Amino acid sequence: MNSKKYTVTSALPYANGPLHIGHIAGAYLPADIYVRYRKLKKDDVLFVCGSDEHGAAITLRAKKEGKTPKEIVDYYHDLNKSTFKEFGIDFDIYHRTSEELHHQTAQEFFSVLESKNIFTKKTSEQFYDQEHQQFLADRYISGQCPKCSFDGAYGDQCEKCGSALSPNELIDPKSTLSGNTPVLKSTSHWYLPMQDHEVWLKDWIENGILDGELHHDPKQWRSQVNGQCMSWINSGLRERAMTRDLDWGVQVPVEGADGKVLYVWLDAPIGYISATKEWASQNNKDWKDYWKKDANLIHFIGKDNIVFHAIIFPIILKAHGDFALPVNVPANEFLNLEGQKLSTSRNWAIWLHEYLKDFEGQQDALRYVLCATAPESKDTDFTWKDFQTRNNSELVGILGNFINRVVVLTNKYYDGLVPGQNALQDYDKEVLSYLDCCGDKVGDCIENYKMRDGLSEVMNIARLGNKYLADTEPWKLKKTDEKRTETILNIALQISASLSVYLEPFLPFAAKQLSQMLNVNFTSWDESKSLDKDHKINSSALLFAKIEDDKMEEQLNKLK
């Protein structure tokens, strides 16, 4: 647990559609903030993601569009990969589960579990569409959710209440292929008897104990993660099929298992491992170092993926042996949009690739708002009005305004040369003392997965800077007290230099621009951020742009 190797994963997005802001707020932005911070702390951290390219949802999309599954996944893999990059989500590798290396890794994993008799093989009756003459994967069946009565629940999950389901629990099930009521027909599959793992799982989740030793601090896990896991365990875990009747996916590596593939929820998390193998081979590393028992494995996900990452995948990892189990699964709740649940089928979403076109160069405005309103402990709501207000009053009015004043005054009074620090007054000492603690405060929030609080602490530094300038009024002192003016601007520049580092995990584009303005290149969270006397800074450029009402009107109309 004290190893300084961190393997950070974000849920593999399904390559059957583009990314929306709910995905970003849930699994990708918090992970990116965490990884950027760890890298500034000089920790050995690997950030892994990739496209989840198997499963029925993709074959369903392909059927609807009259394309092959491969055409679908190729298109969305490329789109999502470039969208992540442009938005500043900085993965070390963005892999794909359709790669040969992944198929091989997933099949090897299955074979090891099969050789250890982890699975049970049994024949059961499953839903079959007579018109299309095929067994129906969970996503091909929809009906009424038994938990919340939502009519459009799928056979594996209700997207309204987030409950994990199995097809036979649905009320009035229908085939999504033909719309007909499916019939039951016999088929054989490999099952994971989760109930066999209840005892150690309970101790691990409740107390952080694994194999008799403290593995992680359970108090650091979010209550919704512990709550959802314990609710599953307390109501009795059941066996779950780990294979499917489907022609698209990782083939089951057993003789006579033709037409059967690995269940996507077995195949996809193994994608983190195959991606690590690919990255390691490209970077001359040993992939096992990032997955062996003392590696710090952290899964960033949305709440609909908790069970898979905190129960099913850990069972599989432990059963295989020699693998690290996650030290944390910081799952976020859901982000709603304008008071309604995000819905890809109803097109009620803000698509990230469209945002990047409509708000060119304003990635940080969205990163800021999604972090400031992150659904860390409960569902939150994104509105365009709030987005505009936060951008204009906080990014432009507080942060941008402070930096602009400091850089403009330094260029105006001292030709861009950092003035010296003269006799310090009590107020100056207070400000510098506050600045000394900021790195630890922000870092502590990030290490405890409280990204909202971390961002708030960074903004407090900018607020302090604005107040310091407003209270001391160097523009008035310039004519009467040159030495005092120099000290004030020197301290304001030290505040700016600290911001260039502490902003980086949250707003990397603004941090880079600020570093260029200050003509600095700090590469470590903990290094001194003081600017030497006569260090030359560059001229000012606006970090953030105001967003006008007509732009918001346009976005609201687009939604409608």
- Taking the domains of the chain in order of start, what are their residue ranges? 5-136+182-332, 383-518
Closest CA to 225 of 326, 306, 333, 311: 306
Look over the chain and give the mean of its residue pLDDT values, rounded to a whole number.
95
Q: Taking each helix axis from N to C terminus, what angle separates 482-502 and 508-518, rounded to the nearest 10 degrees?
A: 150
| Angstrom distance (rounded) from CA 281 to CA 99 | 14
Q: How far apart are CA 501 and CA 43, in angstroms?
A: 16
Spatial CA neighbour of 297 closest among 318, 283, 278: 318
Q: Taking the mean position of all CA atoms in its chain, how far away is CA 506? A: 13
Q: Are 190 and 119 in contact (CB under 8 A)?
A: yes
CB 239, CB 189: distance < 8 Å? no
- What are the Cα distances from residue 90, in Å, to 86, 237, 310, 519? 9, 37, 25, 24
Task: Please state the rounded mean pLDDT for residues 538-557.
Answer: 97
Residues forming beta bridges with residue 153, ordered by sequence position: 143
Residue 140 banded pLDDT, cuts 50, 70, 90: confident
Residue 126 reports pLDDT greater than 80:
yes
User: In the structure, what pLDDT confidence band is assigned to residue 558 with cuts at 50, 70 and 90?
Assistant: very high
Cα separations in angstroms, 215 against 46, 122, 221, 292, 293: 20, 35, 12, 13, 10
What is the Cα–Cα distance from 106 to 252, expressed in whole angstroms?
9
- 303-325 pLDDT, tens digit per residue, is 999 999 999 999 999 999 989 99
pLDDT the model gives residue 507: 98
**Model confidence pLDDT, tens digit, residues 372-408:** 999 999 999 999 999 999 999 999 999 999 999 999 9
- Identify which has the larger pLDDT, 6 or 58: 6
Amino acid (1-letter code) at residue 74:
D
Residue 521 has pLDDT above 90, yes or no: yes
Q: How far apart are CA 21 and CA 18, in angstroms?
A: 10
Separation of alpha carbons 536 and 414, rounded Å: 10
Within 8 A by CB and 6+ apart from 156, the residues are 138, 139, 164, 165, 166, 167
* pLDDT of 223 strictly over 50: yes
pLDDT over threshold 70, residue 2: no
Mean pLDDT value across residues 341-357: 93
Determine the Cα angle at 531 with ends 530 and 536, to 5°.
Answer: 165
The Cβ-side half-sphere exposure at 230, using a 13 Å CA radius, reads: 13
Residues 264 and 272: their CA atoms lie apart, in Å, by 13
CATH 1.10.730.10 corresponds to the domain 383-518: yes
d(CA 210, CA 327): 11
530, pLDDT greater than 50: yes
**Are 5-136+182-332 and 383-518 the same fold in CATH?**
no
Second CATH level (architecture) for the domain 5-136+182-332: 3-Layer(aba) Sandwich (3.40)
Query: What separation in angstroms does the CA of 296 have from each of 43, 119, 349, 361, 460?
Result: 11, 28, 34, 34, 31
Is pTM, for the whole model, over 0.85? yes
Mean pLDDT of 101-112: 98
pLDDT reported for residue 272? 98
Residue 261 pLDDT > 60, yes or no? yes
pLDDT at 35 over 90: yes
Q: Check: CB of residue 192 under 8 Å from CB of residue 119.
A: yes
Long-range (24+ apart) CB contacts under 8 A made by 109-117 are 109/270, 109/273, 109/316, 109/320, 110/242, 110/252, 110/253, 110/262, 110/266, 111/253, 112/320, 113/316, 113/319, 113/320, 114/190, 114/254, 116/319, 116/320
Q: What tokens does 282 get?
A: 């490209």
State the alpha helices, DSSP H only, in 415-547.
426-447, 451-472, 474-477, 482-502, 508-518
* Greater pLDDT, 57 or 338: 338
Tokens of 78: 């490329």
Q: How far is CA 454 from each of CA 371, 442, 449, rounded to the nearest angstrom?
A: 9, 5, 9
pLDDT tens-digit readout, 267-276: 999 999 999 9
Cα distance between residue 514 and residue 495, in whole Å: 12
Q: How far is CA 324 from CA 109, 289, 328, 480, in A?
A: 15, 10, 11, 65
What is the amino acid identity at position 198?
Answer: E
- In Å, how far are 52, 121, 262, 266, 554 from 241, measured between CA atoms? 19, 9, 9, 10, 47
Query: What pLDDT is attached to residue 1?
Result: 39
